[in-house]
Amino acid sequence: MARLRDYWPRLTGALRALLFWTLVYGYCGLCASVHLLKLLWSIGRGPGQTFQRLVRENPPACLNDPSLGTHCYVRIKDSGLRFHYVAAGERGKPLMLLLHGFPEFWYSWRHQLREFKSEYRVVALDLRGYGETDAPSHQESYKLDCIVVDIKDILDSLGYSKCVLIGHDWGGMIAWLIAICYPELVTKLVVINFPHPNVFTEYILWHPSQLIRSGYYFFFQMPWFPEFMFTINDFKALKYLFTSQRTGIGKKGCRLTPEDLEAYVYVFSQPGALTGPINHFRNIFSCLPLKYHKVTTPTLLLWGERDAFMDVEMAEVTRIYVKSHFRLTILSEASHWLQQDQPDIVNKLIWTFLKEEMRKNE
């Protein structure tokens, strides 16, 4: 009996791991089957249209709009990767670093680049594997600890020791991790439509509604097939994410212009442009939950209530992990793409949060 008690914690741990990975790969197979049926249905309705894909050689003019800032590149010493970013505002001003989500790139921050350049050096980054940033070929190169070190090294390469850090969606996940692992680098944290990583892990496993909303996390564990599904019907799935009634931008706010949408399609239609971004997700289940989870940085969490991918209940639960000033604002009728959907309101809320913290520090 004593020997059984000694082995019991190890046995229960092994059983929990078995159940966890059974859930992950079982749901992965289910999601893959659903997408395979969608593919077969599309082929049945029109095989020529299914495999049609326009060649996009030249970027839309909006990607070179000088009002958004200057296109720059920085090479990190440790990894040797070259990162692309767009910077607005004078050098020497406090740094505001913007981290985009999926499937996005620096352009998702166009409204914030224009807004905050008056008082900040605003840098909108293309994350590892996205856009014009280098994309390592190995899946292991996209583990969360690698991405976190990227951000730390980029700050150093830009000549800054700290920043206001703002992240949306997957960029929000990274922003949380930076604040947890390197709190000295972040003066203020703003996260848009992504909960604390531990809250996300718990909800995705124990709440069926969030499990369904997060089906793409599981589907992305498949090799090559997710990339292929994004390309059919000339990137119809990508366009759907930003324009549909269920998931798109503009229910009660701004709408993507045709040129904006073409900018997204142009970037992700380049050869191999989807593999790096999806590789970020192919490592997530081996990285969560976190061993260390407390956030000691003043934090603003903004949330679009009509988010099709994230349960709004996770926003309130996040509060327990922030041990500093925490403000949560939930915007009704707003989508997952909050900083593009309602940029004026988002920018005002960020200004209020930053000015409030400045007054506290004076």
Number of domains into which the chain is organized: 1
Q: What is the token pair recorded at 3?
A: 């020997």
The vertex-43 CA angle with 39 and 47, nearest 5°, equals 140
Task: Assign 361 a pLDDT band (cuts: 50, 70, 90).
Answer: low
Least confident of 216-230, 243-257, 327-341: 243-257
Asked if residue 3 is part of any domain, the answer here is no
Output the pLDDT for position 109: 98
The residue assigned the tokens 């009660």 is 252
Quick: pLDDT tens for 118-134: 999 999 999 999 999 99
CATH of residue 326: 3.40.50.1820
- Specify the pLDDT at position 350: 98
Percent of the chain with pLDDT over 70: 92
Q: In Å, how far are 116, 241, 292 from 119, measured between CA atoms?
A: 6, 33, 33
Report, as an integer, the average pLDDT of 190-219.
Answer: 91
Confidence of residue 285 (pLDDT cuts 50, 70, 90): confident
- 68 lies in some domain: yes
- How high is the pLDDT of residue 4? 54
Condensed to tens digits (0 to 9), the pLDDT of residues 136-193 reads: 999 999 999 999 999 999 999 999 999 999 999 999 999 999 999 999 999 999 999 9
- The answer, yes or no, to whether residue 198 has pLDDT greater than 80, is yes
Averaged pLDDT, 59-86 = 96
Contacts of the segment 63-69: beta carbons below 8 A, 24+ positions apart: 63/107, 63/263, 63/266, 65/110, 67/114, 68/107, 68/110, 68/113, 68/114, 69/113, 69/117, 69/122, 69/124
**β-sheet bridge partners, residue 188:** 164
Residue 47 has pLDDT above 60, yes or no: yes
Confidence of residue 356 (pLDDT cuts 50, 70, 90): confident
> Which distant-in-sequence residues (6+ apart) come within 8 Å of 354 by Cβ?
164, 188
Whether 14 maps to a domain, the answer reads: no
Residue 222: inside a domain, yes or no? no
Q: Please, which residues have CB within 8 angstroms of residue 299's CB and are 6 or more apart in sequence?
A: 179, 188, 189, 190, 191, 322, 324, 325, 326, 327
Does 45 map to a domain?
no
CA atoms within 13 A on the CB side of 63: 18
230 belongs to a structural domain:
no
pLDDT of 288 higher than 70: no
Question: Does the pLDDT at position 68 exceed 70?
Answer: yes
How high does pLDDT run on average in the chain?
91
Parent domain of 152: 61-200+282-355
Q: Could you give phi then psi for residue 316, rounded to 5 degrees?
A: -70, -40
Residue 298's Cβ-count burial label (10 Å; 0-12, 13-18, 19+) is: buried
Residue 310 is which amino acid? M
What span, in angstroms and rounded, lies between the C-alpha atoms of 36 and 38? 5
Task: Classify residue 308: in a domain, yes or no.
Answer: yes
Counting DSSP H helices and E strands in the chain, the numbers are 14, 8
Q: 293 pLDDT band (50/70/90 cuts)?
A: confident
SS3 293: coil
pLDDT value at 24 more than 90: no
Letter for the amino acid at 91? Answer: R
Confidence check: pLDDT of 301 > 50? yes
Confidence check: pLDDT of 241 > 70? yes
Q: What percent of the chain has pLDDT over 90?
A: 73
**pLDDT at position 362:** 47
Please check the confidence at residue 19 and state whether its pLDDT lies above 80. no
Q: Is residue 126 part of a domain?
A: yes
**Going by C-beta distance under 8 Å and a sequence separation of 6 or more, which residues neighbour residue 315?**
195, 301, 303, 328, 330
Name the CA radius of gyration of the chain, rounded: 21
Q: What is the pLDDT of residue 130?
A: 98
